[in-house]
Structure formats: structure tokens, C-alpha cells
């Protein structure tokens, strides 16, 4: 009976029950499997009604926001400003990119006009670079501000981690850079030293100084272990300097990492609910796992927000893009 009712994943546990001959251990094992089956049934029930719950939640939040909007008609002012800035910035980028190809912007205004979906996605990406201390957050994402802040910090950590690994692998011999065990060990060391990045008391430059020392020590040790030429003092000095430079957001390596991370997240938003995720850009391979984890959370957060507030975004963007 249990075999016909349990999930396929529990077939092995049910089969093992037949091998138990003692009564007490048998009943103990049966109740243990029954507990697992209860959890499976609960998970199945939740997954079955999840779309309905999601729709109810979307309608409820939209209704409450509409009530607020009727009482306070200016409740979309910051949203409008947020979308206007995103549209303007996106158009400026397209204009600059079109200049070399077009030889000028004459007659290409319509082709440079972004579609509403692209503006929305770009606007969400801008929230990952938001100055939370100086700028008010858009009203429609205000309830999720803490989540966006958390994602922002996680992406900063991924960018710094990726930049440190990139400069390290470029300086170290290819024979050890390609070793998965070495790369994983190095990544773990850097991640541990960046754990408190979100704390106000954290000093990034001091942490990167320590990281530089640890990384050089690991590289020298691995080179010696594998029989390669030793890591010279000059190379150590250069590597430590490059790692230290990552502290600045204007560092070329850091900017490359930031740019590619945003490009990847933009691709994730554009692909919607499609699986698997888009291919990670070059240079981000060592932090692919960490980046994809953040991307999944970001896409879920954005997609839900779109479901709730898309009517308001569409109305605002229709005016913005027409006036442009």
C-alpha cells in the first residue's frame, strides 16, 4: 500500500522495509517513511496551489496600491523619475553606440527608441547600483528595498571575488590556474575574507591586503608543489598591487567584472522564465555558481514586481517614450 501512495523518490525507502524482520525496528522505520510521505504530500499540495496563491497575492498587492494611489495621487512620482532616467540613459547609450555605425544620429531616432520591456529591465538593473542613503527608492519597489540592498551587496562581493581570481589566474602559471582544486581553494579563502563586506566596520582595502598575502602564499605553495618556477618577489608585488586596486570601483578589472555581471543579469531578465540560465560571460567562470544564485533571486524578485505593477509601468512608459 505504501509503495502505491509514496512519491517515486521514496521507493527505495519502502523497499528497505521488506528487509526488516524485527517488529519494533520495522514499525519505527514505517513511521519514519510515513513522516517523509507527509512532507511529500504537503510539498505537492503547496506546489499545486502556488499559481493560485501567486495570482491572489498579485491582485491583493495591486488593489492595495491602487487604494493608496487614489488617496495620494503623487505616489508614483519617484517611479516616474526612475523610469525616465532609465529610458534617457538607455537612449543615450544607444545613441553613442549608433554614432560610429551611422556617422551621425540623423534620421535614426525611431530605431534608437527602446521598447518598454527593455527600459523596465534596465531600470531594475539600476536598482542594483542605487545610492540608498541619498536617493528615495521608487514607490513600487519600496517594500523590496531591503532585498535589493542585499542583492547589491552580494553582487559587489561576487565582482570583487571575480576580479581577485581573474588577476590571480592571469599572473599565476597556467598549469596551476587550470587546476580545479586550486581554483576552488583560492576562491574559498577569498570568500571567507570577504564575508563581512556588508558590515559598516569592514575595511575593504585592509581585507584586500590580507587577501593579497594569502593568495601569494597559496600561489607560491602550489607552484612549488607542482614543480614550477617559483613565484618571484616582483610578481608578488605586482599581484598584491593589482588585488589592492580592486578596492576601487573605477579599477579597470573591477569595471569589466561589473559590466559583465550586469550584462548577464540583463540577459537573465530578457530570457524571462526560461531554463537554463544564459551562458555566463567570459571571465566570470570561477564565480559562476555565486552569480547564478544571485541571478535567480533577482529574476524572481523582478518578475513578481512586474506582475503586480506592470499596468502602472506600461502607462508611465507609454508617455515617456512618446514624448521622447
Report how far residue 86's alpha carbon sits from residue 92's, in angstroms, rounded to the nearest whole number.
10
Ramachandran quadrant class, 277 (left: phi over 0; alpha: psi -120 to 50; beta: rest): beta
Report how far residue 7's alpha carbon sits from residue 9's, in angstroms, rounded to the nearest whole number.
5
Query: How many helical (H) and strand (E) elements, i.e. helices and strands, does the chain have?
Result: 13, 0
Neighbours of 186 (CB within 10 A): 26
| Burial (Cβ within 10 Å: 0-12, 13-18, ≥19) of residue 49 | exposed
Going by C-beta distance under 8 Å and a sequence separation of 6 or more, which residues neighbour residue 190? Answer: 161, 164, 165, 211, 214, 215
Between residues 148 and 7, the one the model is more confident about: 148
**Do 141 and 127 meet the contact criterion of CB atoms below 8 Å apart?**
yes
Between residues 275 and 212, the one the model is more confident about: 212
Q: Could you give the 3-state DSSP secondary structure of residue 200?
A: coil
pLDDT at residue 105, rounded to an integer: 46
Place of cell 527600459: 119
Between residues 248 and 24, the one the model is more confident about: 248
Report how far residue 67's alpha carbon sits from residue 35's, in angstroms, rounded to the nearest whole number.
45
- 59-116: pLDDT as tens digits: 999 999 999 999 998 989 999 999 999 999 988 887 777 665 555 544 455 566 788 9
pTM: 0.81
pLDDT band per the 50, 70, 90 thresholds, residue 36: confident
- 147-202: pLDDT as tens digits: 999 999 999 999 999 999 999 988 887 778 778 888 899 999 999 999 998 888 99
pLDDT band per the 50, 70, 90 thresholds, residue 324: low
Counting Cα atoms < 13 Å in the Cβ hemisphere of 182 gives 22
- 205-251: pLDDT as tens digits: 999 999 999 999 999 998 888 888 888 899 999 999 999 999 999 99
pLDDT at residue 273, rounded to an integer: 65
Mean pLDDT of all residues belonging to the chain: 87
pLDDT at residue 25, rounded to an integer: 80
pLDDT at residue 56, rounded to an integer: 87
- 44-53: pLDDT as tens digits: 777 777 777 7
Amino acid at each position: 500500500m505504501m509503495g502505491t501512495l509514496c512519491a517515486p523518490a521514496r521507493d527505495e525507502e519502502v523497499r528497505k522495509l521488506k528487509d526488516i524482520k524485527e517488529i519494533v525496528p520495522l514499525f519505527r522505520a514505517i513511521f519514519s517513511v510515513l513522516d517523509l510521505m507527509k512532507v511529500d504530500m504537503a510539498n505537492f499540495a503547496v506546489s499545486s496551489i502556488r499559481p493560485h496563491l501567486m495570482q491572489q497575492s498579485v491582485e491583493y498587492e495591486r488593489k492595495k496600491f491602487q487604494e493608496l494611489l487614489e488617496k495620494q495621487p503623487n505616489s508614483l512620482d519617484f517611479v516616474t523619475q526612475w523610469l525616465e532616467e532609465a529610458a534617457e540613459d538607455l537612449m543615450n547609450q544607444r545613441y553613442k553606440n549608433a554614432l560610429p555605425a551611422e556617422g551621425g544620429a540623423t534620421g535614426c531616432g525611431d530605431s534608437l527608441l527602446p521598447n518598454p520591456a527593455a527600459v523596465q529591465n534596465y531600470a531594475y538593473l539600476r536598482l542594483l547600483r542605487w545610492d540608498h542613503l541619498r536617493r528615495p527608492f521608487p514607490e513600487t519597489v519600496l517594500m523590496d528595498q531591503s532585498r535589493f540592498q542585499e542583492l547589491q551587496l552580494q553582487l559587489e562581493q561576487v565582482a570583487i571575488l571575480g576580479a581577485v581570481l581573474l588577476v590571480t589566474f592571469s599572473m599565476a602559471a597556467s598549469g596551476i590556474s587550470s587546476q580545479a582544486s586550486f581554483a576552488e581553494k583560492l576562491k574559498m579563502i577569498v570568500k571567507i575574507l570577504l564575508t563581512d563586506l556588508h558590515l559598516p566596520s569592514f575595511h575593504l582595502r585592509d581585507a584586500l591586503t590580507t587577501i593579497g598575502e594569502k593568495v601569494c602564499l597559496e600561489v607560491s605553495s602550489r607552484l612549488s608543489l607542482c614543480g614550477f618556477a617559483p613565484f618571484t618577489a616582483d610578481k608578488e608585488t605586482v599581484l598584491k598591487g593589482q588585488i589592492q586596486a580592486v578596492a576601487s570601483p573605477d579599477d579597470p578589472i573591477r569595471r569589466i567584472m561589473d559590466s559583465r555581471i550586469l550584462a548577464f543579469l540583463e540577459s537573465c531578465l530578457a530570457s524571462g522564465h526560461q531554463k537554463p540560465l544564459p551562458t555566463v560571460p567570459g571571465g566570470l567562470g570561477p564565480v559562476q555558481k555565486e552569480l547564478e544564485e544571485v541571478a535567480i533571486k533577482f529574476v524572481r524578485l523582478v518578475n513578481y514586481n512586474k506582475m503586480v505593477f506592470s499596468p502602472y509601468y506600461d502607462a508611465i512608459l507609454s508617455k515617456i517614450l512618446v514624448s521622447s
